Amino acid sequence: MKILALESSARAASAAVEIDGRIFERYSDDGLTHSRTLLPLAIAAMEDAGIGVSELDAVAVAAGPGSFTGIRIGVATAKGLAWPENKPTIALSTLAAMAYTQRDFCGTVCAAMDARRDQFYTALFRFENGKGVRLTEDLALSAAELEAILPSGEIMFVGDGAKKAVESFGRGVLPPEDRILQRASGVLAAIPDFGRTVSAAELLPVYLRLPQAERERNERLLNKEERQI
């Protein structure tokens, strides 16, 4: 199988190609917008692997949750690459892909994305011998709510909210610095257990809460209605 994976759900962006177990990954955390970096990363990863889009069997993407803009860019890029070539796409939970970057850890892995407003996008997984089992669905929780569902024992935190979680809860361990953030190689690793194959037309972003603009609009409408009562 030849699969291109994309990850742009948070600050960093990455693309990786897997060919019969070999992975060629490109990664960027330079502060540029994903609309400028993700497609060049994908092209560079394919060049490293020595293949073109026409030779791919599928295009995989971390479809959410995460940054609303980042998720849309990732999904749109996957569609743009797959649709003209009539290739299938594979949608992955961003949180599952994050957890699978730590699949060599034996124990509980907590995928933790900083969702701001004192919230985390999070999910818990249990790993043993490289095989992962979901312990929770993808959730949007406050720090207190996340702490309440953490099991006893050692926990590995991963993601752009991992350091914040460890500091907040006073427990848990972190991966090496270069493996904390989300990566496209995690998308590839999670495909056998959690990949969902759909057509490019059917591929959609996955959100756990409304975009900020919609939340603020609803809050304004609610406040207006309360003043009129």
User: Residue ranges per domain, the chain?
Assistant: 2-96+182-214, 103-179
Q: How far is CA 74 from CA 37, 79, 91, 124, in A?
A: 11, 9, 11, 23
Query: Architecture of domain 103-179 in CATH?
Result: 2-Layer Sandwich (3.30)
The helix (run of H) or strand (run of E) holding residue 215 is helix 212-228
Q: How far is CA 32 from CA 12, 13, 37, in A?
A: 9, 9, 7
Q: What is the pLDDT of residue 69?
A: 94
120: β partners: 114, 141
Beta strands in 22-118 (DSSP E): 22-28, 58-64, 89-93, 107-116
Q: How confident is the model at residue 221 (pLDDT cuts 50, 70, 90)?
A: very low
Q: What is the pLDDT of residue 26?
A: 98
The helix (run of H) or strand (run of E) holding residue 220 is helix 212-228
Q: What is the pLDDT of residue 32?
A: 82
pLDDT, one tens digit per residue, over 140-172 is: 999 999 999 999 999 999 999 999 999 999 999
Q: How far is CA 113 from CA 50, 118, 141, in A?
A: 33, 11, 10
What whole-number distance in Å separates Cα of residue 180 and Cα of residue 144? 22
For range 206-228, the mean pLDDT: 52
Asked whether the predicted pLDDT for residue 227 surpasses 70, the reply is no
For range 14-29, the mean pLDDT: 96
Contact 46, 59 (CB under 8 A): no
Residue in this structure with the two tokens 């006073």, named with its chain if needed: 170
Question: Is the bond into 84 cis (omega within 30 degrees of 0)?
Answer: no
Q: What is the pLDDT of residue 118?
A: 84
More confident residue, 122 or 209: 122
Same topology, domains 2-96+182-214 and 103-179? Answer is yes
Q: What is the pLDDT of residue 155?
A: 97
pLDDT, one tens digit per residue, over 61-80 is: 999 999 999 999 999 999 99
**Percent of the chain residues past pLDDT 70, beyond the cut:** 91
CATH for 2-96+182-214, among 3.90.1150.10, 1.10.4160.10, 3.40.50.1220, 3.30.420.40? 3.30.420.40
Asked whether the predicted pLDDT for residue 51 surpasses 80, the reply is yes
> SS3 of 105, please?
coil
168: β partners: none
Q: How confident is the model at residue 228 (pLDDT cuts 50, 70, 90)?
A: low
Round the average pLDDT of the chain to a whole number and report it: 91
